Each structure stands twice: as C-alpha cells, then as structure tokens.
Structure 1
Amino acid sequence: MRRGLKWLAILTTLGMLFVLIGGALVTKTGSSMGCGRSWPLCNGQLIPSPITPETLIEFAHRLVSGGVGFLLLILSIWSWKTIGHKRETKFLVLLSLFFLILQALIGAAAVMWGQSKFILALHFGISLISFASVFLLTLLIFEVDQKFDASKIIIDKRMKIHTIGVTIYSYLVVYSGALVRHTNSSLICRDWPLCLNDAPALPTNLYEWVQMGHRLAAGIIFLWIAYITYLSVRHYKKQQVLYKGWIIAFILVCLQVIAGALIIFTRLNLYIALAHALFISCLFGLLSYFLLLIGRSKKNMVQISKDRFESK
C-alpha cells in the first residue's frame, strides 16, 4: 500500500512541476488568451476548434492542471489516513490544496475578467507554494520506512536565521522574475549584467527598473546562498542532509544565474527560459525543506535539554 502511495506522491510532484513550467510556457508564448474569455471550457467548447498553437498550449496547460488537481486530492486523502500521525502531514495537505485552488481561481479570473500585471505575477509564486507543499509531503511519505530520515537534525541559531531569511527573500526574487515576464521586460536590457543599452546610465523607464531590480535581487540571493553553503561546508559535514543539501542549493542558484544571462544572450530562447523557471522551482522546494528541518531541529533541541535534565 505504501509503495503505491510513494509512486502517487512522485507522480503528483512531477505533475505539479509540469504545472509550474506549463504556466511559464503559457506566459512566455503569449498563449494566455488561447482559449478566449472562456473558463473552464476552451472557447466555449469541451474540445476547442480550430486549434491554434496558442490554443493548444493553453488547453494542454488546463488539462494538466486539472489532472494534477485530481491526483493531489487522492494523495491528500491517502496521506491523511496513512501518515496523518506525522505532525507536518495535515498542515502540508491543507496548504497544497488551498494554494492549488487559489492558483486555479486567479488563473480563471485572469482569463474571464483580466488582471493587473502585478497581480498576475503572483500566480507563479502561488503555484510554487503548492508545489513545495507536495514536494515536502512526498519526502514525508518516503521517511515512513526510515530509508530517508532526517529527524535528528540539529541546526544552530545563525544557520536558522540565514535559512529563514533566504527562503523568504527567494519568494521576492520569484515575484520579481514573474513581474519581468508579465511586463514583457525580459529583453528591455540588451546587456548583462548591467543595463547599458549603448549608454551607461540608470534605468530610464519602468521596464528597465523591473529588469534591473530582478537582476539585483538575483545577485543578492546568489551571494547569500554561497555564504550559507560555505557555513554548511565548514560546520555541518557530519549532518549530510544539510551539507549536501546546501551544495545542491548552490548548484541550482548558479544554474539559475547562468540561465538568466543566457536568456539575454540568446534573445529569449524558449528552452532556456523554461529551464530558468525549472531551476528556481527546484531551489524553492529545497529551501522549503530546510524550513521543515528547522522546525524539527527546535523539537530535537528541546528533547535533548529534557533528557539532560532528567539524567541529572
């Protein structure tokens, strides 16, 4: 039974990742109105006709989102019954379902009535929280048989502050990146990393400010994660989950920066742009897992203090 639950969890997590990338694909190809002002039907039809490339992309995104929503519902019920005794399970189930529904409602509202670009930029971030919740739920499921267990983690105060801070900040970076896409600011600066545009000067319009604001935010998170990785290499070699986890986080943020630069150099190559969205999604999921470990670390430290007191 648990083997089936594990496969369902993996399938749902990958499905949520496809929903994220599919949403980015819809935005980057300008396919958001591929089904007109109709939702959940496409152009008022169950099977749209005629089918244009934009219609196909939007319709496929809706089908995948609906299918993943169904999988998530089954996973939520199954997880609640099977591993509901684990303290994080019910919270993650409710969180993933809530943000998946919220994501769908914002998407529907954007199609039917239109939304501000600043509101639309929230859509990717909301999807990201739902994905991270499903990802963490999957890790909990794999912990049941103790083949993957990180319940004995101890994290010091400095590492906790940095981890919480960089995770919250990463969400702001995600929002700024989504804002770049929704305001069509991706290629407003033809140079990288600065926005010279043939004349060294400060940004001169909203689009340049949005683009350069995102680049600055991305630069800060790169340096921040590099520093945290340095701390983990120095002080957490014996705690392999943290040690290897932060090395992976650093690799992901490096790939994110490289992909961001290549978007400019290749003049918005679609595959690189989608990889850019993939890397930040994986990074946010990993940072969310570190937050879960922080919660466990606090519990472990309380238990250690209690054991020491009783031993006296």
Structure 2
Amino acid sequence: MQFAQGHISKKITDILSVATPIGVFVVNTMGFIDTDTGSALGCGRQWPLCNNQLIPSSFDLHTLIEFGHRGLVGLVSILLISFGVFAWVNYGRFIEVRVLSLISVGFVVVEALLGALGVLFGDPPAELATHFGVSLIAFAAVLLLQIVISQIKRHTHDGTTHELMPLRPHAVTKSYESAVWFTFSYLYVAMYIGAYVASSGAADSFSGLVVPAESLQTPHHALWIDLLHRTIAAGLLLLIVHLVVQSYKFRAQRPDLWKGSLAALTFTILQIAAGIFLIDSHISLIAQILHTAVVTALFGVICYMALQVLPEPLARSKQTSDTLVPEH
C-alpha cells in the first residue's frame, strides 16, 4: 500500500514537472501581452476584484486579457506550489530540490505581489523591469527543478535507492565556473536593461540596421540608449562564444556543458535576429513576444549551465569528484 502511494506520488510529480514550467512560461508571455497592449488596467485599479465584480459581467478586449491573465496566474500558482510540495516530499533529500522549490515558489509569490501592486499603484518602468526579472527567475527555478528531478531519476533508479549518487561526477575548473557565472550575471543585467528600455518607450525610437541611425533630438536620447543596448548584446555574444570554445575542450567528459553552450549560442543568434526584426517591424507585438520568448529560453539554458558547474554538495557525495582535465 505504501509502495503504491509512493509510486502515485512520483507519477503526479512527473506530470507537474512538465505542466508547471509550461504554465509559468505561458503566464510570463501573457503578462507581457497584457502590458504591451495596455490591458493592465482592463479591470481598473482593483485587485482581486475586476471592475467592482469578482467576475466581470461584460468584457472588452482589455478586460478579457487582464482577467484571463489573473486567472492563469492563480492556476499556475496552484500548479507550482503543488509541484514544489510533491518534489520536496519525493526528492527532498537532495539539496538542489529543496533550494529550487523554495526559489520557484517564493519568486512566483513576489511576482504576483508586484503585479497586484502595479495594478493598484501604477507601473513605472523600473517596477515593470523588476517584474520581468522576477518572472524570469521563477521560470528558471521551476525549469531547473524539473531538470534536477530528471537527473535524480536517471542516477538513482527512479529515486528509490537510499544511496545518494553524484549528479555531476566531473568537476569543472574554477576559471570555467567563473566564466559561466559571470555570463549568467551579465545576461541578467542585460535583460533588466532591455526590459527597462522596452517599458520606458525608448525602443519606439530605435532605427538603423545594423548601425544605430537615431538622432540626438529624438525622445529619451534614443541614440545613446540604443548604442548601449547593442553594445551589451555584442558583449553577450562574445561571452557565449568564449563558453563554446572552452566547453569544446572537455566535450567528451562534460557533454552537458558542451551541448548547453551550443544551445546558448543558438539562442543568442536568434535573439539578435529577433532584435533586428523588432526594429524593422517598428516594435510590433509579434516581434516583442518573439524577442521575449527567445531571451527567456536563453536565460533558462545559462541557468542550467550555472547549475551544472556547481560542485557536488558534500552532504551527499559518496565519492570524490575528479577535476576535469580539458582535452587539447
């Protein structure tokens, strides 16, 4: 009986591990559409009520988008909390599961509070950028939680053994670990600046492919902001290329990092292409959604690499990890 209950609990965890990251991604995308279409006040400056009602008696487009977004946030929050609880119950002896469960649930709560405060008191560009940054961390945490559980199942025969095997058997060099975490920090700051630019309205003045062509007379000093934005993007590309070159040296021992670096490079190139499309389409909604979706995927990949370069927790390491020696 106890075995059957444990099996069912793990099956539920498996289902939630797939549904929850998808749900968080959809909520984040819906939130972007909500903001960009000017629907954030579709329910007025009220929360949790919508136009003085729990369920509006009439809907226009803005009310439908805002009310739908609120409903999705509630549904996904239930999914995420359930996933965190089931993950903790079934795999909580792994420190990664405990930490990621707390981060994912905590940041989704913060994200919901920021959304409510934005409705009640307004959304300045800095608050919108912060909201975007928090939503990305929530998505990355729940995605990594799903990945870690998959790793545990592969390394411990569905997590039923009491022997805690290492998930990362070959430790990377300190220089590589520092490079990955620097890229993570750089990307997060770059995304915050990009979100601030988008929410401030300055991006509407961006022009010129590939070299910026704005005038200093345009609003928001668009030329300098655009130069900064493009310079940051170029710097990110160089950092990702550096990771690809370094990962190639030990691709046989750590194929996870080699494949991760290739995925990061692919998404970086797609992000640059999406940025060009964004300018060429005069900041169309489709281009903005594409730009946001690609950078979300890129952030997820870099977060995965940051997780994979961490040393094995001493509390459960049964064997000494070998330091990785790059191939020449």
TM-score relative to the length of structure 2: 0.86
Residue correspondence of structure 1 range 283-302 to structure 2 within 5 A: 283-296=298-311
Q: Is 1:10 matched with 2:27?
A: no
Which residue of structure 1 lines up, in the alignment, with residue 285 of structure 2? 270
Flag as ranges the 4+ runs of structure 1 deviating above 4 A: 147-150, 201-204, 297-300
Give the root-mean-square deviation of aligned CA atoms. 2.4
| 1:204 to partner: Cα distance | 7.4
Report the CA distance shift for 1:150/1:261 in structure 2 as closer, same or farther (over 3 A): farther
Residue correspondence of structure 1 range 43-82 to structure 2 within 5 A: 43-82=51-90
Residue in 1 aligned with 2:271?
256
CA contact (8 A) 2:44 2:50 kept: yes
1:183·1:207 contact (CA, 8 Å) conserved in 2? no
How far residue 177 of structure 1 moved from its aligned partner, in angstroms, is 1.3
1:309 aligned partner? none
Decide whether aligned partners of structure 1 residues 150 and 40 sit closer, same or farther in structure 2, where only a CA change above 3 A counts.
Answer: same
Q: Which amino acid aligns with 1:31?
A: S
**Counterpart residue type for residue 311 of structure 2:** R
| Paired residues of 1:185 and 1:208 also in contact (CA < 8 A) | no
TM-fit CA distance, 1:160: 0.8
Counterpart of 1:142 (choices 144, 147, 150) is 150
Equivalent in 88, 91, 106 of residue 99 of structure 2: 91
Would the alpha carbon gap of residues 87 and 180 (structure 1) be closer, same or farther in structure 2, given more than 3 Å must change? same
After superposition, give the CA deviation of every residue in 1:147-197 in whole Å (9 maximum; x if it has no partner). 799532421122111100000111111111111221112221221333213
Residue 185 of structure 1 contacts residue 207 of structure 1 at CA under 8 Å; is this kept in 2? yes
The answer to whether residue 201 in structure 2 is matched with residue 193 in structure 1 is no
Q: 1:24 aligns with which of 22, 32, 37?
A: 32
* CA deviation string 1:82-131 (max 9, x = no partner): 00011111111111111111111111111101142112211010011111
Question: Which one of 147, 151, 160 corresponds to residue 177 of structure 2?
Answer: 160
Q: Which residue identity lines up with residue 158 of structure 1 in the other structure? A: S
The answer to whether residue 189 in structure 2 is matched with residue 181 in structure 1 is no
Supply the AA of the counterpart residue of 2:77: G
Structure 2 match to 1:280: 295
Please say if residues 153 and 293 of structure 1, whose CA atoms lie closer than 8 Å, have aligned partners that are also in contact.
Answer: no
Please give the per-residue CA displacement for 1:192-246, whole angstroms capped at 9, x wherever unaligned. Answer: 333213x6x6987444443432222122111210121122123324321111111
Q: What amino acid does structure 2 have at the position aligned with 1:194?
A: V
The structural deviation recorded for 1:304 is 3.9
Equivalent of 1:116, from 96, 104, 124?
124
Tell me if the contact between 1:150 and 1:241 (Cα under 8 Å) persists in the aligned partners: no
User: How far apart, in 2, do the equivalents of 1:166 and 1:202 lie?
Assistant: 34
Letter in 2 for 1:217: I
Unaligned runs of 5+ in 2: 1-7, 157-165, 324-328
**In 2: Cα distance, 1:228 partner to 1:202 partner:** 39
User: Could you list the runs of 5+ residues in structure 1 that have no partner in the other structure?
Assistant: 307-312
The aligned counterpart of 1:231 is 246
- 1:278, distance to aligned residue in structure 2 (A): 0.9
Contact 1:260 1:276 survives alignment (8 Å): yes
> 1:264, CA displacement in angstroms?
0.6
Q: Which residue of 2 aligns with 1:310?
A: none
Partner-residue secondary structure (3-state), 1:46: coil
Deviation at 1:69, TM superposition (A): 0.2
Letter in 1 for 2:284: N
What's the TM-score, normalizing by structure 1?
0.90
Q: Which residue of 1 aligns with 2:135?
A: 127
